[in-house]
């Protein structure tokens, strides 16, 4: 599976990487950017070409961008170099995540779902740290793809015991079709006394 996904995404970024790099950062990130810290360590999970992680790097955070696509991460690195920013990148399979406890100040997870990351994000964020998450919800057309689409209410439920700053299910332009698709968005802070 991972090999097939890697080839798929490498191929996409090789063919359309410039297009992806010109995409604006996710609106949910921009909406909360002013409230995020200006120092510390951030994770951009499934970073692609790094558009969102680079927003945090410009803000002053030290950003680790992880993805299975080396092609995508190379494009992210090139952009970082061109702007004289530091961006750590690593080819990493988030289907088998492991992060040290209490290491990130911010975690971004956009347009990607791997449920095994949920307990890892819970553990790896520092108390008071920010999780910003947005991805697609299952529709009748995508019902067979249980692994890649959230159930309604699922994202909120996974972090309902955190300080939820924003939680909504609405629509956003998605994928290559550029059609409006249902998404769930969450901005939540790990409680100060969270473990």
Ligand X SMILES: C[S@@+](CC[C@H](N)C(=O)[O-])C[C@H]1O[C@@H](n2cnc3c(N)ncnc32)[C@H](O)[C@@H]1O
Nearer to ligand X, 52 or 89 (CB): 52
Nearer to ligand X, 59 or 128 (CB): 59
- Gap between the Cα atoms of 22 and 49, Å rounded: 10
Closest distance to ligand X from the beta carbon of 25 (Å): 8
Closest distance to ligand X from the beta carbon of 161 (Å): 25
| Number of C-beta neighbours around residue 130 at 10 A | 24
Nearer to ligand X, 27 or 161 (CB): 27
**Which long-range contacts (C-beta less than 8 Å, at least 24 apart) are formed by 90-95?**
90/64, 90/65, 90/66, 91/66, 91/67, 92/66, 92/67, 92/68, 93/2, 93/68, 94/45, 94/46, 94/66, 94/68, 95/1, 95/2
Residue nearest to ligand X (CB): 48
Nearer to ligand X, 112 or 162 (CB): 112
Closest distance to ligand X from the beta carbon of 135 (Å): 9
Closest distance to ligand X from the beta carbon of 176 (Å): 9
CA torsion, points 77, 80, 85, 90, in degrees to nearest 10?
A: -20
Residues that bind ligand X (CB under 6 A): 2, 5, 9, 26, 46-48, 51-52, 67-69, 72, 93-95, 110-112, 114
């Amino acid at each position: 599976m991972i090999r097939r996904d890697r080839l798929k995404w490498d191929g996409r970024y090789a063919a359309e990487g410039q297009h992806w790099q010109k995409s604006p950062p996710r609106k949910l990130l921009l909406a909360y950017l002013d409230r995020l810290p200006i120092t510390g360590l951030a994770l951009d999970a499934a970073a692609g070409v790094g558009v969102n992680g680079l927003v945090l790097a410009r803000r002053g955070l030290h950003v680790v961008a992880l993805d299975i696509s080396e092609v995508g991460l190379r494009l992210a690195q090139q952009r970082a170099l061109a702007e004289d920013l530091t961006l750590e990148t690593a080819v990493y399979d988030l289907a088998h995540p492991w992060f040290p406890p209490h290491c990130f100040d911010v975690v971004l997870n956009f347009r990607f779902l791997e449920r095994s990351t949920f307990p890892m994000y819970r553990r790896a964020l520092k108390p008071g740290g920010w999780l910003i998450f947005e991805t697609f919800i299952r529709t009748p057309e995508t019902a067979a793809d249980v692994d890649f689409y959230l159930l309604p209410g699922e994202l909120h439920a996974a972090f309902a015991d955190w300080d939820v700053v924003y939680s909504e299910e609405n629509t956003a332009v998605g994928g290559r079709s550029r059609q409006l698709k249902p998404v769930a968005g969450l901005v939540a802070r790990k409680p100060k006394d969270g473990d």
